[in-house]
Amino acid sequence: MRIVLVGPPGAGKGTQAAYLAENLSIPHISTGDLFRANISQGTPLGLQAKEYMNAGHLVPDEVTIGMAEDRMRQDDAAQGFLLDGFPRNIGQAEALDTFLSAHRLKLDAVLDLEVPEEEVVRRIAGRRICRNDSSHVFHAEYSRPVKEAVCDECGGELYQREDDSEETVRKRLAVYHSETEPIIDYYKKQGLVTTISALGAVTEVTERAMRALPRG
């Protein structure tokens, strides 16, 4: 199965992607996580991406599309994948369509996570991420680690993302509305979109998402 997860910053894409990918036995491909891994390894790609990310802007398509395609070409993605944070504008959506048709593949579903703006701000303000594994995501109120600033799963240090400052979050939301939301209409025309509420407990949202996916 090939799925695109779309939604504003802080909607819970990463949180849901981890569960969905496990349930469906497909890799979770997050362009944000790929950029952050490059930044922590100090690669040229990471250096390039960092300034855009910290300003809340999109990393240019020339960098992003190649990186996403390289990841989708890896062996573990041959049977399917869950894309989180890609595509993020019409140019990327068109590039993905071209990539898929060149490989005689197609998308099965686009899940659109809907969440009010006040909730986005609350979720991002409290988010804490593990330094060892970006899929270990906590929240200072909603899913507190047993020991403050320590990951329950691996003992790693929990930190707050540099682009999670209030000012940058506002910028990221504006970019989401102007650049990313148009891809929802783009995929609606292909009959692929299901919009689900991302409010409620994490497990409830996962159940909604699983029900929204085509069977098989």
Single out the segment in contact with Zn ion by CB under 5 A; choices: 53-61, 83-91, 156-164, 186-194: 156-164
For residue 53, give both structure tokens. 């990310």
Name residues whose C-beta falls within 8 Å of residue 100's C-beta, 6 or more positions apart in sequence.
2, 106, 107
Mode of pairing for the β-strands spanning 109-114 and 28-30: unpaired
Contact track, ligand AP5, 15-54, x by CB under 6 A: x---------------xx--x----------------xx-
Which residue from 160, 183, 155, 176 is spatially nearest to 36, judged by alpha carbons? 160
**Residue 139 binds to ligand AP5 (criterion: CB under 6 A):** yes
**Residue 101 binds to Zn ion (criterion: CB under 5 A):** no
Query: What is d(CA 150, CA 148) in angstroms, rounded to the nearest whole number?
Result: 6
For residue 141, give both structure tokens. 């109120």
Laid out side by side, the sheet with 127-130 consists of 137-139, 127-130, 158-159
- Other beta carbons less than 10 A from residue 32's beta carbon: 20
The binder of ligand AP5 chosen from 6, 20, 39, 58 (CB under 6 A) = 58
Single out the segment in contact with ligand AP5 by CB under 6 A; choices: 93-101, 103-111, 144-152, 198-206: 198-206
Binding residues for ligand AP5 restricted to 143-182, rule: CB under 6 A? 143, 163, 172
The residues that touch Zn ion, with contacts defined as CB under 5 A, are: 130, 132-133, 136, 151, 153-154, 156
Q: Which residues are annotated as a binding site?
A: 10-15, 31, 36, 57-59, 85-88, 92, 127, 137-138, 161, 172, 200
Q: Which residues are catalytic?
A: 13, 88, 127, 161, 172
Q: Which residues are annotated as a binding site for AMP?
A: 31, 36, 57-59, 85-88, 92, 161, 172
